[in-house]
A and B are shown apart, each in its own frame.
Chain A
Amino acid sequence: MKKSVLFVGVGGQGAILAAKILINGVMSRGYDVKMSEVHGMSQRGGSVSTQVHFGDKVHAPVIGPGEADILVAFERMEAVRYAEYLKPDGVAVINDYAIESVSTASGQYQYPEGCVEAMEKLFDCRVLDAGAIALSLGSAKCMNVVLFGALTQVLGMEDVDWEEIIRQTVPAKFVDLNLRAYHAGREAALKTV
């Protein structure tokens, strides 16, 4: 068994924490795991990606086109950008949430319409507005864990105690918020099936 999860979004959205919770969960099951991310210029509001690969034995820390089992997009245009990395029978968890880029804000480009619909035509998608869900829970900051909750619905690792993993991974004062975010994300992903 080997699985690859690709988290994509915009610098500063908290994809790395989501990846970390996933890693701690799969490590608790004794799997080998590798994670890859790119630092540097990507910190400045650019498009970012974090990859997690786990299984009995993992060699490559990165994948190429057509190799991800699950794509978790923290922003809808980023889902489109990285769609080619998803296996044709893979699952996309998409945050129906848009962040302008400098290229669209300055009027140089138009932010594309129909990102989510285009993804739904091609892939099994779980679409949720994690930004609104996070706000309704009291903090936009827990959007990443809402998306993580949605991811657990398609991950197929029900034997992992994700609540416990979240408790161990996030700072103590944010445990309650993040547990609520996790459950809200799981529920939202169920509704979209």
Chain B
Amino acid sequence: MKVLMSGNEAIARGAYEAGVRVCSAYPGTPSTEIFENLPQYKDVLYCEWAPNEKVATEVAYGAAIAGVRSLTAMKHVGLNVAADPMFTAGYNGVTGGFVIVTADDPSMHSSQNEQDNRRYAMAAKIALVEPSDSQECKDFMAEAYRISELFDTPVLFRTTTRVSHSKSLVELGERTEREPFPYKRNIPKNSCAPALAYAKRPKVEQRLEALAEYGCTSPLNRVEMGDGKIGVITASIAYEYAREVFPEGTSFLKLGLTYPLPMKLIRDFAARVETLYVIEELEGFMEEQIKAAGIPCIGKEKVSNMYELNPARLREMLFGVKPVTRKPEVEAVPRPPALCPGCPHRGFFYAVSRQKDVIITGDIGCYTLGSAPPLNAMDSCVCMGAGFSVGAGMAQAFRQMGKPRKIFGVVGDSTFFHSGMTGAVEILYNNADMIPVVLDNHITGMTGHQDNPGSGYNLQGEIAAAVKIEDVLRSFGFEKVLIVDPQDLSAMEGAIREAMNASQRCAIICRRPCLLIKRLKHDIGQCVVDPDKCIGCRKCLQVGCPALSLRGKKSHIDPTQCVGCTVCAQVCPMGAISRKEA
């Protein structure tokens, strides 16, 4: 029987069926659900959330060196963090099969850039596998592990948002248990000392040649021959769109092992068709290599390298067929994501936005939404951990200019453990004039609530050691660590002032759990506006709560959204908002 599965569920299932034993990852959209679906198999495999992608990749790679099949997974920008161990694993090889899943995000649905991680496989000179639907997500995992062990290479397994998050029908298989490779110390293989790396260098090239040869007969690559007029070389989700768009009779070379390219197979296919297209989402990764091999083809001169494709878009770009649409005369206004009603981050961002001339260097997480109107409380957002270190750099620049500014560097609890800790050390070591702030909501929020080293639980749902952020900061050398409930605005404002005036090295921890954490009991109530007291001054609207709006000239609180956090009540100058108990 077939079951409906997302690509991510199918990858987890594929790892299980392939006999994988050790799995480590850090959450990131659109990859997160792969690991959320692994604990169901915990009787036969170990799975964990690691503090960041680099650690996760090293843990999984260590398991491969020890002789078992292992898995790591991350979003595309996570691979930037994990690139270091991946490149060296490419030289040293694996022993047990080692698969790195990278989930790219064309159109940046939940990401800061649109990088095409296929380039990483080429740069690291390792095998690249790309499925295009959920069945392939599962089936290709088994083949990826086979390739990894056969060619002694890490395999980069690349999906996109639409492959990871779309659901389609999957025929399940059984798990095949595998005998681990016996562990033996092997210094020339597993150490990357310069002389050893020098010696391994030619093997990396030989491996690529062997893989390109293998790709010509691999079950991951297949030809669907039509009448020979039009031929299309394609992979990943672009294959599904191309199948919808090209006319009947079109021949397809559908590639699943996309680096190194099986150039002999491609040359043979090209010779059997009159016109050759290469259809791929984002960069012209395959097309550039195919053109460099002297094979004429049509690709990026027609198909944009920006944003995700869909059938209508592809049809228009290839054949000039515009979609027939109707546009209503009324226009929808933006509905951007916002901090939830009762979000503990709101109090900090509101309080800090009241301070004159402060700079707030932000980071990646729910709290990135502190940059949205009406709070507008953020100067920069770059990548995980940059909330501290970018702030440190700005502090040094302002000091050089002789114009010091008050800088707050913001990271979340999960981000603190991910890469905020090194930034905190930088602030102390190089005496950066700034205040690090950890918004500790006890969970990795934006990716949909995963545990982290501070939350007290692990991926398998067991109680785990909870690393205390204040202990870490104090042990680094922060003399004053202010711990404050951000929902208490006067305490929050007091902490901000105290930190700004402190003569010692000072850090702030804003501590209140996310209201959406299911295992905690939350203090839920309901705020109401007294219309007789409300003067319509709109001060409450400045906290940016989705439950608040103006009805006529008076403030109104949507009872279906309000949870009674009272932040709006605390800013009302007339005392017109009060909380009634639910």
Contacts and interface: CB of A to CB of B under 8 A. Distances in A.
Contacts of B109: 38, 40-42
B244 A84 contact: no
A29 interface: no
Interface stretch (A117-125, A159-167, A174-182, A183-191): A117-125
Contacts of B324: 66, 87-88
Interface string A143-160: 000000000000000000
A112 B336 contact: no
Contacts of A34: 133, 166-168
Contact of A102 (B33, B308, B311, B544): B544
A130 B83 CA distance: 50
B374 interface: yes
A84 B110 CA distance: 23
A45 B110 contact: no
Nearest to B8: A39
A45 B244 contact: no
Interface string A77-93: 11011011111100000
B240 A60 contact: yes
B460 interface: no
Interface stretch (B271-279, B326-334, B527-535): B326-334
A114 to B, nearest CB: 5
Interface residues of B, number: 63
B330 A41 contact: no
Contact of A41 (B243, B310, B446, B550): B446
A115 interface: yes
Interface string A29-40: 000111111111
A107 B336 contact: no
A37 B340 contact: no
Given A38-B161, A39-B110, A61-B240, A111 B333 contact: yes
Contacts of A41: 29, 109-110, 337, 446
Contacts of B241: 59-60
A78 B538 CA distance: 26
A43 interface: yes
B323 A66 contact: yes
Contacts of B169: 27, 32-33
A27 B4 contact: yes
A21 interface: no
Contacts of B545: 105
A46 interface: yes
Interface string B519-551: 000000000000000000010011011101110
Contact of A65 (B244, B325, B334): B325
B105 to A, nearest CB: 9
Contacts of A44: 337-340, 366, 369
Contacts of A192: none
Contacts of B88: none
B475 interface: no
**In which size bucket is the chain A interface?**
35 or more
B244 A60 contact: yes
A136 interface: no
A42 B335 CA distance: 10
B218 to A, nearest CB: 22
Contacts of B338: 44-46, 102
Q: Interface centre among A66, A88, A105, A123, by most B CB within 10 Å?
A: A105
Nearest to B111: A40
B323 A102 contact: no
Interface string B85-122: 00000000000000000000000011000000000000
Given A27-B4, A107-B550, A108-B373, A100 B558 contact: yes
Interface string B551-569: 0000000101000000000
A62 to B, nearest CB: 5
Given A40-B447, A107-B550, A62 B162 contact: yes
Interface in A1-18: 10-11
B464 to A, nearest CB: 25
A57 B330 CA distance: 36
B300 interface: no
B76 interface: no
Contact of B328 (A33, A42, A64, A119): A119
Contact of A83 (B4, B162, B327): B327
A161 to B, nearest CB: 19
A72 interface: no
Contacts, number: 195
B29 A105 contact: no
Contact of A36 (B165, B323, B334, B538): B165
Interface string B427-457: 0000000000000000000111000000000
Given A33-B169, A36-B167, A38-B165, A104 B326 contact: no
A120 to B, nearest CB: 10
B335 A84 contact: no
From A33, A38, A83, A109, residue with most partner B Cβ within 10 Å: A38
Interface in B448-473: 448
A164 to B, nearest CB: 18
Given A39-B165, A59-B241, A103 B541 contact: no
Contacts of B500: none
A85 to B, nearest CB: 8
Interface string B171-197: 000000000000000000000000000
Given A45-B340, A59-B244, A115 B326 contact: no
B332 A84 contact: no
B312 A33 contact: no
Contacts of A133: none
Contacts of B323: 64-67
B333 A105 contact: no
Given A61-B240, A83-B327, A102-B372, A78 B332 contact: yes
A66 B4 CA distance: 26
Nearest to B331: A112
18 contacts: A39-B32, A40-B30, A41-B109, A46-B337, A60-B310, A60-B311, A62-B166, A66-B323, A80-B332, A83-B328, A102-B338, A103-B336, A105-B541, A105-B548, A106-B373, A108-B374, A118-B328, A123-B326
Interface of B: 4, 29-30, 32-33, 109-110, 133, 161-162, 165-169, 237, 239-241, 243-244, 308, 310-313, 323-340, 366, 369, 372-374, 446-448, 538, 541-542, 544-546, 548-550, 558, 560
Interface of A: 10-11, 23, 27, 32-47, 58-67, 77-78, 80-81, 83-88, 100-115, 118-119, 121-123, 140
Given A38-B161, A107-B550, 8 more contacts: A23-B167, A36-B165, A40-B446, A44-B340, A45-B337, A45-B340, A46-B336, A46-B338
Task: Give the top 4 A-B pairs by smallest Cβ distance, nearest first.
Answer: A64-B312, A40-B110, A61-B166, A66-B323
